[in-house]
């Protein structure tokens, strides 16, 4: 069931909860509480309870939360038990690093293919993922289910590439192009990643601590 009117701030905390609960689960911890989670995550217990209440009732008063059950529930909300099909466009240094090192399989995504313009990488494989020419992109999308496209391409072609993909029916983009991509189509979702934002946030905290 889709949840409406959930704030972006709550949505962005969900992966943090899932990551923390996964750590507790792997450490063999069976039970936790909003107070314990809050201490480990630097979030108030009331904020955690408020966030969880957006999605229903979790835990029992006087007991807290069963770690395995809560992890499963939040994972379900995030869609990690789904099988999303993903392709990547651009397999330069960043794209190659993601294909080689990022644990897509732990997040409900399967990387099926990648695309590039360089003859040096076309018809090769990176970590078992085939690399095709971008000339084959349209025909591939028409023949395969693609839920999300990872963009690690030059800024100059980012929006035009996204527009082309939207016309082909793509609705999800994980965008590393350092351009704030957008679409007037409300069904299209962008997650625009800017590494500099994170570093500048750290810079501010250092300067103002």
- Between the alpha carbon of residue 21 and those of residues 89, 133, 181, the distances in Å are 32, 40, 32
DSSP states of 154-192: -GGGHHHHHHHHHHTT--EEEE-SSS----S-TT-EEEE
How many whole angstroms separate alpha carbon 29 and alpha carbon 52?
20
CA 53 to chain centre: 23
Binding residues for NAD(+): 90-95
How many whole angstroms separate alpha carbon 113 and alpha carbon 86?
7
How many whole angstroms separate alpha carbon 177 and alpha carbon 151?
6
Alpha-helix runs per DSSP H in the chain = 8-26, 34-41, 45-53, 67-78, 93-101, 137-143, 158-167, 195-208
Q: Count the residues in the chain.
A: 209
Binding residues: 90-95
**Contact predicate 17/74, CB 8 Å:** yes
């Amino acid at each position: 069931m889709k949840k409406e009117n959930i704030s972006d701030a709550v949505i962005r905390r969900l992966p943090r909860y899932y990551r923390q609960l996964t750590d507790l689960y792997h450490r063999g911890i069976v039970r936790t509480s909003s107070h314990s989670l809050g201490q480990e995550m630097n979030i108030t217990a009331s904020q955690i309870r408020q966030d969880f209440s957006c999605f229903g009732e979790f835990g029992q008063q006087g007991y807290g939360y069963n770690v395995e059950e809560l992890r499963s529930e939040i994972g379900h909300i995030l869609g990690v038990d789904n099988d999303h099909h993903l392709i990547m466009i651009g397999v330069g240094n960043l794209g190659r690093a993601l294909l080689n090192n990022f644990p897509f399989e732990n997040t409900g995504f399967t990387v099926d293919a990648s695309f590039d313009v360089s003859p040096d990488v076309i018809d090769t494989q990176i970590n078992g993922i085939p690399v095709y020419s971008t000339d084959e992109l349209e025909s591939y999308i028409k023949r395969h289910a693609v839920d999300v496209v990872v963009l690690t391409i030059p800024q100059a072609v980012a929006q035009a590439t996204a527009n082309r993909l939207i016309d082909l029916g793509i609705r999800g983009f994980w965008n590393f192009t350092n351009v704030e991509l957008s679409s007037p189509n409300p069904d299209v979702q962008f997650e625009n990643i800017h590494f500099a934002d994170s570093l500048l946030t750290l810079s501010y905290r250092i300067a103002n601590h």
